[in-house]
Amino acid sequence: MSALKFRLPPNDGPVLSVVDMHTGGEPLRIVLSGAPVPSGSTLLEKRRWVRENMDWVRRVLMLEPRGHQDMYGALLVPSEEAEAQLGVLFMHNAGYSTMCGHAVIALGRFALDYGLVDPQGPETPINIHCPCGIVRAYASYSGGRSGQVRFHSVPAFTLCTDVPVDVPGYGKVVVDVAYGGAFYAFVSAERFGLDVCSSRTRDLVDVAGAVSDAVKAQVKINHPDSEDLAFLYGTILTDGRDAYSEEPTANICVFADSQVDRSPTGSGVTARIALQYHKGLIQLEQTRTFKSGATKSLFTGKAVKETACGDYKAVIVEVCGRAHYTGTASFTLESDDPLKDGFLLK
């Protein structure tokens, strides 16, 4: 058969072009073209405007039949911050997050490869404006190719530790809550008789979802800078190995609407490092390796300096990982398609 020309047949809908990547197995769909430019003078205002006025872009690209339950996306937008080289809004199956480390790692490569930032060897600094603030990424570049990316996130801190919450079906559960650009509840999977590396994903999701619901209902989440940041994003189940070790410590993150992160979770590693530092379990510049219970992929993380976030003692955390390209695509919506707006099958 002769080669067929790559094109979309005539259609009456918008065309959204994307680049697909993954970081440690966690997908990232980056919108190249076809989406309107959001209104708003600040990134958080743009985030609210997108949520209220152009959520169709998220639904079309994240949900079926073009996406899936665990798809993740990035919409590049103008930033009001002079030092930022790009601004980004993050999308998932339920809405819009405030920070995403795996996406920052992928966007570091993308920014070099797509000419948003001129590459410098051996490492190029890239300031990425996320809804939580400026995240400083450093992308390696050698022989004409981008590679590993590390980033310094916004100040990370512990909100509360050893908080008892009543979790229906599981009784009283003691959790920690920490912030790494987003808030997470932390608890060892062993508390539920589970293992983050070998238990059924469905069982881990059920437990994590129940914990998230309980924490949202019973723990007041607040952030010194903005109410837009003051919400629990998800629950991270760990292997309980919080004390410093050269061996990897595993976790699995369940966020948004029962969405499972395939990577070790960049913002989760940031929050978990802040929690370990708060408890005196690690020191500055002590690198830890974090393993995804889902894919066994690895990130490294370390606290690089002390700082503050409002009245909270905080740390700047460095996370390092590697992203890879998986392809490009163009998606359209046909007006006579009853499922054109996307759906989610659970």
Q: How many CB atoms lie within 10 A of CB 206?
A: 17
Q: Cα separations (Å) of 130 from 8, 97, 134, 304?
A: 33, 9, 6, 20
- The Cβ of residue 85 has, within 10 Å, a number of other Cβ atoms equal to 17
Closest CA to 126 of 96, 63, 83, 69: 83
Diameter over CA atoms, the chain: 67
Is the dihedral angle over the CA atoms 223, 226, 231, 233 positive or is it negative? negative
Residue 89 CA, distance from chain mean position: 11
To the query of whether residue 320 is one of the catalytic residues in this protein, the response is no
Catalytic choice (100, 132, 309, 320)? 100
- CB neighbours of residue 64 within 10 Å: 14
Q: Is 292 left (phi over 0), alpha (psi -120 to 50) or beta?
A: beta
Q: Catalytic positions, please?
A: 100
